[in-house]
Structure 1
Amino acid sequence: MSISPVKRLILETMWLIDKPAKATEIAKDVGVQFPAVMMHLVGLAKSEYVKSPSKGLYVITEKGKKMLGLPEVDKEKASEILAYLPAEKAFHFYADYGKPLNVFAASLGDFCEKIKDIDPSSIEFHLHRGDFEAWFTGLGDLELARKTLLIREQKMFGEELRKKLCEIVRARCEELAKLRGA
């Protein structure tokens, strides 16, 4: 079964928000008028792609994530994604082409810590080249790679970009740690 592009956009936005959100917040982030978003949320709820954990708040369900094509992650996969890597597989930060910062992240958790202090222009450099998506995919985390793609499409820059990237990576690390049982 497929869904309309607007419903897909709403699901992707809810997935990126990653917590219960008001329909007005979703409408603002999607760029669609509130009544249309509300209508789509009702349809998505009937299909069990979203649910309302409390009055006025909506969150994407596991079924909604599957509709977006996201693979399920079990304890073993979570451990694999969070594992420390050898230096040649670590993420190496650059200021620009041929200008290494001599800073690297040897795990997803390490990456989460390092991006707090990396110059925002380095984050912009890597994001717009698709480097983060490629590294997250290499770790086996397709969900984080897709979230990073959605951030890139939002054309964020500077501290706003750093904050959003830190937020999604930290939340993902916490989610994976729970799955792993740490």
Structure 2
Amino acid sequence: MKFNVLRRLFIFPSQKFNCIFDVLKEKPSFSLMSIYYNWYMSVLSLSPAKSEVLQAFLLHKKPVKPIEISKEIGKKFPSVMMHVIGLTKMGYLFSPKKGYYKLTNEGEKYLGALNLNREFARKLLTGKFFGNTFNFYLGLNEPINIKAYNLQTFVFAIKKAPIQSVEFHMKRGDFKIWLRGIGDVDLANKIEFLENNDLTGESLKQKLHLTTFNR
């Protein structure tokens, strides 16, 4: 029985919770529980490489091919595919159709994605966050007459702002800080991922605008 439980733990990670009860029913030895604990913690904590792949899926509302993810993050496809398979076994990704993958609810929770209720979503989109207006700058002490009061105005502001201004705020992390301040952790995480991709110029502005527009 112990061998079968351990075999299920290592080969079928998605069954981890059922295995807890199997292990407890058998009144396992301390060594068996230690093996399980170490395995379970390794499942919960993703490697930096796996986290990077998982974060890339945040930017896609629709299922996407792993080859597209590999191009976006600049990693070789075989390595990305290996992580996609692992993340799928762990329950963070799923494949709705052959060759395409998408974040599961568990994957979104792991990344801190925010499930918005209708009222809060409406406030984020069209409400005014007094005291939390985002003022765009070209650089230090160089304000420009572009402001954002909510997500709707933020989308238009990104499109209107000069590339120099967008790059300035991205390098400082201003966008993600403001978004977390008004409560949109999900979009903040997506923008943080863009920061780590080292995008510049028009490609940065277009990707940022598309990400905020799709929110």
What's the C-alpha RMSD, in Å, of the aligned pairs?
1.8
Deviation at residue 44 of structure 1 after TM alignment? 1.7
Match of 2:135 in 1: 92
For residue 113 of structure 1, the aligned residue among 136, 153, 156 is 156
Q: Secondary structure at the match of 1:53?
A: strand
- Asked if 1:77 corresponds to 2:120, the answer is yes
**TM-score, normalised with respect to structure 1:** 0.85
Unaligned runs of 5+ in 1: 173-182
* 1:87-136 per-position Cα deviation (integer Å, ceiling 9, x unaligned): 64221111111111122112110110121121110111111111111111
In the aligned structure 2, how far is the partner of 1:77 from the partner of 1:62? Answer: 19
Unaligned runs of 5+ in 2: 1-43
Find the structure with the greater CA-based Rg: 2
Segments ≥4 residues shifted beyond 4 Å: none
Match of 1:27 in 2: 70
**TM-score, normalised with respect to structure 2:** 0.73
- Asked if 1:48 corresponds to 2:91, the answer is yes
Q: Secondary structure at the match of 1:52?
A: strand
Q: 1:128 to 1:46 in 2, by over 3 A?
A: same
In the aligned structure 1, how far is the partner of 2:119 from the partner of 2:184? Answer: 12
Match of 2:18 in 1: none
In the aligned structure 2, how far is the partner of 1:103 from the partner of 1:115? Answer: 9
In the aligned structure 2, how far is the partner of 1:132 from the partner of 1:116? Answer: 14
Identity of aligned residues (%): 39
- Asked if 1:3 corresponds to 2:51, the answer is no
Match of 1:66 in 2: 109
AA aligned opposite 2:133? A
- Asked if 1:164 corresponds to 2:164, the answer is no
For residue 165 of structure 2, the aligned residue among 95, 104, 122 is 122
- Asked if 1:141 corresponds to 2:184, the answer is yes
Q: Secondary structure at the match of 2:161?
A: coil
For residue 55 of structure 2, the aligned residue among 6, 9, 12 is 12
AA aligned opposite 2:141? G
Q: 1:103 to 1:44 in 2, by over 3 A?
A: same
**More RCO (CA 8 Å, sep 6+):** 1
AA aligned opposite 1:8? S
Contact kept, 8 Å, 2:112 with 2:185, in 1: the verdict is: no
In the aligned structure 1, how far is the partner of 2:174 from the partner of 2:73? Answer: 25
- Asked if 1:37 corresponds to 2:80, the answer is yes
AA aligned opposite 2:123? E
In the aligned structure 2, how far is the partner of 1:162 from the partner of 1:91? Answer: 17
